[in-house]
Amino acid sequence: MNILKQRYSSNKFLSFFRDTLAVIKIEFRTMFKDRGVVIMLVLAPLAYPIIYCSLYQNETLIDVPVAAVDCSRSQQSRELLRHIDATQNVQITCKYGTLAEAKQAFVEKKVHGVVYIPADFSKKLSTGNQTTVSMYSDISSFMYYRIISQACSNSVQAMSNQIQLERLNSNGITGEAATISAIPIPYYGVPLYNEGAGFASFLMPAILIIIIQQTLFLGIGMIAGTSREENRFHVLVASAVHRGRTLRVIVGKSICYLLLYATWSFFILGVIPHSFNLPHIGISLDIVKFMLPFLLSVIFFSMTVSVFLPNRETGMMLFLFFSLILIFISGVSWPQSNINGFWKAFAWIFPSTCGVQGYIKINSMGADINHISFEYVSLWIQTALYFATTCWAYRWQIKKSSNNSLKEMELLRDL
């Protein structure tokens, strides 16, 4: 009796293994036979990171053209302008006599900012008064504003400090006392994890994770939509494939996607950051550990949603725009602490939110897996949750398909 039971169970295990293997084989074949799927699951995840990285390869703005209106024409005003011109980010490309001329140059997009030094600049400085320098900045892009205002305020600050010391000296405060009086508490701003304040270093890690999720999601949606169209009963899984065993289909398919995307993840998160000089201070093993639940939750999430996609194109049509929304709700550009409760809860539905946060924390900020336990556990919870919903959705589809074929059989018999 015991022996019989054992043999039965080992047989069951063997048949599970064999069926799963068959599903993997079929899935790989359908994937690579279909040009659209190949584009989505092979070409896109390899091409997109390269395209975006090359577009954003200049981490910061260099020598943004700015006009100067120097009404003071003094040695001090020229010194200030030299200071501004010497910064890496801003270059004074032209000088005008009046503000109106400079604004005209701005309108014609010759310059992105204007520095205006009033006529009484040096007079006020020599008489010990306060003087004002004006700066006008293009704000068509946040970057222009940040770069120009930074360059101007640093230069003004440096010159101010120098004048301050001179004035203290002339008021009888000299030497060390003057320095202490001028800046009693000096401060240092230390930027961490993105020392150059680079745009690509900041945004690209998030984009890479979103590319992984979205191509995988759209690819799985495309495969599901296609098999639905080709299937006589408009269901997801043909009965010939599953033979009534839901779990084998799900396990087989997900292994297939996981194998493919494990390879792409190595390329996207391993090779790309190195070759484009993005942050990569993370522990590789932790990234691998973290990517496993991320990929699994994306796969099961996609498989669940794919059940509801009636056609091959539906996923692309309706969910591509969502990539933009995913970037914002992942809390990289607009800080996560300032996302309101509703959207924060909404964001948690998608694996990319925890995926982006966790990856940036490990890869850009050098956190280890213990620091990101929230994201790590969340992704495992999502994996379990979406695995359950996938089972439920697939069982529903498979039942529908068997019912349909049963009905057809009965119909034939009645004839």
Partner 1 sequence: MVSRPIYFIGTVLIMAFSYVFFLTFFNEGQPNKMPIAVVDMDNSSLSRQFTRNLEATQQAKIVVQLNSHKEAREEMQRGNIYAFVEIQKNFSRKVISNHRPTLTFYVNDAYLIAGSLILKDLSYMSVATSAAMQRKVLRAKGLEENRIMGIIQPIVLDTHLIGNPWANYGTYLLNVILPGVLQLMVLMMTIFAVGVEFKERTSHEWLEMGNNSMFSSLTGKLLPYTVIFTAIGIIGDMLLFRYMHYPLNANIGWMFLATFMLVVASQSIGILLIGVTPVLRDGVTLGGFFGMLGVTFAGSTFPIEQMPYGTRIFSYLFPIHHFFNIYVNQALNGVSIRYSLIAFITLLSFTILPFFVYNRLKNAAINQNYPIK
Q: Interface with partner 1 includes 325 (CB under 8 A)? A: yes
Shortest distance (Å) from residue 146 CB to partner 1: 7
Q: Interface with partner 1 includes 344 (CB under 8 A)? A: no
Cα distances (Å, whole numbers) of residue 415 to 196, 221, 232 = 77, 38, 20
Burial class (CB in 10 A: 0-12, 13-18, 19+), 8: exposed
Shortest distance (Å) from residue 232 CB to partner 1: 15
Q: What is the DSSP letter of 64?
A: E
Closest to partner 1 by CB, 74 or 402: 74
Q: Interface with partner 1 includes 91 (CB under 8 A)? A: no
Which residues, 163 to 192, sit near partner 1 by CB under 8 A?
A: 163-164, 167-168, 171-173, 176-177, 179-192
Using CA atoms, how far apart are residues 222 and 217, in angstroms rounded to an integer?
9
Using CA atoms, how far apart are residues 376 and 397, in angstroms rounded to an integer?
31
Shortest distance (Å) from residue 10 CB to partner 1: 42
Which residues, 97 to 126, sit near partner 1 by CB under 8 A?
A: 106-108, 125
Cα distances (Å, whole numbers) of residue 359 to 129, 329, 347 = 53, 15, 16
Which residues, 348 to 367, sit near partner 1 by CB under 8 A?
A: 357, 360-361, 364-367
If one counts every other C-beta atom within 10 angstroms of the C-beta of residue 124, the result is 15
Q: Interface with partner 1 includes 14 (CB under 8 A)? A: no
Q: What angle do CA 147, 324, 253 make, to 5 degrees?
A: 135
Shortest distance (Å) from residue 141 CB to partner 1: 5
User: At 95, phi and psi to the nearest 5?
Assistant: -120, 140
Shortest distance (Å) from residue 26 CB to partner 1: 18
Shortest distance (Å) from residue 97 CB to partner 1: 19
* CA dihedral angle for residue 314, residue 317, residue 320, residue 321, rounded to 10 degrees: -140
Closest to partner 1 by CB, 262 or 325: 325
Closest to partner 1 by CB, 215 or 246: 215
Q: Interface with partner 1 includes 138 (CB under 8 A)? A: yes
Q: Interface with partner 1 includes 250 (CB under 8 A)? A: no
Q: Which of 1, 5, 240, 337 binds partner 1 (CB under 8 A)?
A: 337
Question: Which residues, in sequence order, are CB contacts of 407 under 8 Å at separation 6+?
Answer: none
Binding mask 48-77 for partner 1 (x = CB under 8 A): ---xx-xxxxx--xx-x-------------
Q: Interface with partner 1 includes 338 (CB under 8 A)? A: yes
Shortest distance (Å) from residue 360 CB to partner 1: 6
β-pair partners for 68: 95, 115
User: At 207, phi and psi to the nearest 5?
Assistant: -60, -40
Nearest C-alpha neighbor of 271 from the set 257, 258, 287: 287
